[in-house]
A and B are shown apart, each in its own frame.
Chain A
Amino acid sequence: MGRWKSGRVVSTREETPSGRSIVLDVPGWGGNIAGQHVDVRLTAEDGYTATRSYSIASADGSDRIELAVDRLPDGEVSPFLVDVLAVGDELEVRGPLGGWFVWKPEQTEPVQLIAGGSGIVPIVAMIRAHAAAGSRARFELLYSVRTPSDVFFASELEGLTTTYGRTTVYTREVPTGWPVLPGRVTREVLAEHTIPASERPSVFVCGPTGFVEAIADWLVELGHDPARVKTERFGGT
């Protein structure tokens, strides 16, 4: 994990109206496992620092890491990362961190991924690692977003449909012609669109606290072994 390293922004891309992805070149990074995160430290001219954690969307073993940040209107760090940071800027990063909410290509059991909003970021790393390794482990994603334009990594996720299954739930606004009305993930939706407990999948749930709490409770009610349900909550309440 080591000490703070300097990362240089090599590219950024708008992902959603409130979020963007950022690719950093971090000499000496040396790769990370899918699902891990990094601490990002910003330093003001007067020496003040602010540090926040961000999941890593990439897991390719190189010195490049990709983050995706959603702007919190009142936030201190996320508006800077989404609106101000530019190609060529330097940031300090520390990591990779976290050895629990991770997926490794040697895992062969079925995997149910469940993401809400920007909670997709560590999940994308797992999907990418799964594709890169040519893994035959069954992978299913249930992704809850507000509207079609809030999907992070939209075209990439779209393009990968052959190696994994995907269900998207739109909570506020659906694409034209979509067969169901907008609405939150319910226990019924969860039961219908996820790998059943009887197949003993590993389950990764990431998103806002309320979302993760509700989903994790239902998973346990649906018979999943709590020990196989790993969660990551992105701060807030």
Chain B
Amino acid sequence: MAGFTRGFSGRQREESPELPPGQFLTHDFPVLSAGPTPRVDLDEWEFSINTETGEKHSWDWAALQALAIDDVSTDIHCVTRWSKLGTSWRGVSLDTLFAEVETSYDYTMAHSYGGYTTNVPLDDLLDGKAWIAFEFDGEPLDPEHGGPARLLIPHLYFWKSAKWIRSIEMTADDDPGFWEQNGYHIYGDPWQEQRYW
């Protein structure tokens, strides 16, 4: 490894033990997406969980809002190295949504309006680890941040928190999704710096 970079001292830093390796704190909310922002009307919006037997569990907007809603305060970590600490969200826990779902598969593929996909092991969606989030900072989620609703999986790099979520398909194998096919790590743990393959 090279030594230090001549003349570089870094700026006044905000250090924080909550910051995974290689991340820096940001106070704004950068937007990163691969294409145009899909616009989804609430009366057309639907979210479903689809299993290997062809069973489809689906919720329209009113049905989602009728479920138990969590307030979530959490840190988020983008693979492009910014992190935001203590962000606040409202959404429905995947535990609630999976309550009636029967599956023997261990993996999932999240599908978005607009065609984006990302793979997530089922274990990483359950036990209070993930939500379908529709509010950020007390406001309805902006389309550019994934509104009306996005996946929120704070313990993985944020590309796993699929914006404009439309469905979760159960899968037998951990098949790569969109960014995973385009150079990003199959799992994406920020604490292990699992950025790229």
Residue in contact with A90 in the complex, picked from B5, B13, B30, CB distance below 8 Å: B5
- Scoring A residues 95 to 129 as 1 if CB is less than 8 Å from chain B, else 0, what string do you get? 00111110000000000000000000000000000
Known: A43-B3, A89-B6, A227-B115. A50 touches B196 (CB 8 A): no
Residues of chain B with a CB closer than 8 A to A149's CB: none
Is A185 close to B, CB under 8 A? Answer: no
Cβ contacts B87-107/A at 8 Å (1 or 0 each): 000000000000000000000
B9 vs chain A, min Cβ distance (A):
5
A contacts with B, residue count (CB < 8 A): 43
CB pair A50 B7 closer than 8 Å: no
Q: Which residues B8-45 have CB closer than 8 A to chain A?
A: 8-11, 13, 22, 24, 28-38
| Per-residue contact bits, chain A 202-237, to B (CB 8 Å; 1 contact, 0 not) | 000000010001001101100000110111010111
Contacts of A235 in B (CB 8 A): 30, 80, 82
CB proximity of A10 to chain B, nearest CB, Å:
15
Tell me if A's interface is mostly helix, strand, loop or mixed.
mixed
Please report the C-alpha to C-alpha distance between residue A220 and residue B40 in the assembled complex, in whole angstroms.
14
Task: Indicate whether A186 reaches chain B with its CB closer than 8 angstroms.
Answer: no
Chain A residues with Cβ below 8 Å from B9 are 44-45
CA distance A3 to B5 in the complex (A): 18
Nearest opposing residue in chain B for A234, CB measure: B30
CB neighbours of B181 from chain A (8 A)? 99
B144 at the interface (CB under 8 A from A): yes
Tally inter-chain residue pairs, CB-CB below 8 A: 107
- On chain B, the residues within 8 Å of A209 by CB distance are 30-31, 144
Determine whether the beta carbon of A213 is less than 8 Å from that of B37: yes
In the complex, what's the smallest C-beta–C-beta distance from A189 to chain B, in angstroms? Answer: 18
Classify the secondary structure of B's interface with A.
loop
Contact A231 B80 (CB under 8 A): no
**A219 B36 Cβ-Cβ under 8 A:** yes
Q: Which of B171-193 contact A (CB under 8 A)?
A: 178-179, 181-183
Q: How many angstroms between the C-alpha atoms of A6 and B4 in the bound complex?
A: 11
CB pair B5–A236 under 8 Å, yes or no, is: no
Residues of B within 8 A of A98 (CB): 182-183
Is B31's CB under 8 angstroms from A44's CB?
no
Q: Does B2 contact A (CB under 8 A)?
A: yes
With A213-B144, A227-B115, A235-B82 known as contacts, the answer to whether A100 contacts B34 (CB < 8 A) is: yes
For residue B66, CB closer than 8 A to chain A, the reply is no
CB-nearest residue of chain B relative to A37? B80
Task: Kindly state whether residue A157 has any CB partner on chain B within 8 Å.
Answer: no
- CA distance in complex: A69, B6 (Å): 18
